[in-house]
């Protein structure tokens, strides 16, 4: 479904992505792990067109993402939940969800589905996004990506800084999206327990490259932990 081939990214003279090769298969949950600063978030931002690579290829189905303007990439069927949520603090919860809709009116059936997954957002529909708790803002960021019914959801550290009960809610939501909706998920996660619980396959990045990739049920746990420095 999504393929990155030999992707290189520089920030000034710093070589951040040093030949990333990554494939996300249709219908799977792929978790990307790695220490801070290895290029995980840069990889996601490059997929979404926010960062332009110096060389390499990125395709989504039959679409060449490097030839797309960034605003067109979500319209191909990719939902993106960035690290830090990036909701609009002065817009209401409902207006934040509506902000992802670029053509026509909002699909009321999808809105009801969002509220089924996150009932608290229905209760907070008229409340300003900036007044929500951290967990509620994470729900809102996911709801905003879900409302367009994407084929692929990309999530960057969705459990970061959340209390354990909310972490479990996010895990359950990822699992439900994949199992009930058939949504493919690319997940960047620091929480190893979360990754092992929801993912079918694990990739580990180190120094701007994917160094290890294996299905969860065939993982070499010692090798995984050595890459993560645990």
pLDDT at 195: 93
Mean pLDDT (whole number) for 180-185: 96
Mean pLDDT over all residues of the chain? 93
pLDDT in tens, 135-148: 999 999 999 999 99
Q: Is the pLDDT of residue 230 over 90?
A: no
Predicted local confidence at residue 221, as pLDDT: 80
Q: Residues 41-63: what's their mean pLDDT?
A: 96
- What's the pTM value of the predicted model, to 2 decimals? 0.93
What is the predicted pLDDT for the residue at 215?
93
Q: Where in the chain is the domain with CATH 3.40.50.300?
A: 2-77+151-228
Task: Work out the average pLDDT over 145-154.
Answer: 95
Q: Which pairing describes strands 14-24 and 184-188: parallel, antiparallel, or unpaired?
A: unpaired
Beta bridge partners of 159: none
| Nearest one of 182, 155, 158, 13 to 80, comparing CA atoms | 155
More confident residue, 175 or 219: 175
pLDDT in tens, 89-104: 999 999 999 999 877 7
Domain spanning 2-77+151-228: CATH superfamily? P-loop containing nucleotide triphosphate hydrolases (3.40.50.300)
Nearest alpha carbon to residue 192 among 163, 142, 227, 165: 227
Percent of the chain whose pLDDT exceeds 90: 87
Contact yes or no for 190/157 (Cβ under 8 A): yes
Q: What residues have CB less than 8 Å from 127, skipping those under 6 apart?
A: 92, 93
């Amino acid at each position: 479904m999504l393929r990155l081939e030999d992707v290189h990214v520089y920030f000034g003279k710093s070589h951040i992505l040093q030949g990333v090769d990554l494939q996300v298969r249709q219908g799977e949950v792929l978790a990307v792990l790695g220490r801070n600063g290895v290029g995980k978030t840069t990889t996601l931002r490059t997929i979404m067109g926010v960062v332009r690579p110096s060389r390499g290829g990125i395709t989504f189905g039959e679409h060449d993402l490097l030839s797309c303007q960034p605003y067109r990439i979500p319209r191909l069927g990719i939902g993106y939940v960035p690290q830090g949520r990036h909701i609009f603090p002065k817009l209401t919860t409902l207006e934040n969800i509506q902000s992802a809709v670029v053509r026509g009116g909002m699909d009321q059936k999808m809105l009801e589905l969002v509220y089924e997954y996150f009932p608290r957002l229905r209760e907070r529909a008229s409340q300003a996004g900036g007044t929500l708790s951290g967990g509620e803002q994470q729900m809102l960021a996911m709801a905003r990506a879900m409302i367009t019914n994407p084929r692929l959801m990309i999530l960057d550290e969705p459990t970061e800084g959340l209390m354990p009960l909310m972490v479990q809610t996010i895990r359950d939501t990822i699992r439900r999206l994949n199992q009930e909706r058939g949504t493919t998920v690319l997940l960047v996660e620091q929480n190893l327990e979360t990754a092992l619980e929801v993912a079918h396959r694990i990739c580990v990045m180190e120094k701007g490259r994917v160094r290890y990739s294996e299905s969860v049920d065939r993982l070499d746990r010692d090798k995984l932990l050595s890459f993560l420095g645990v």
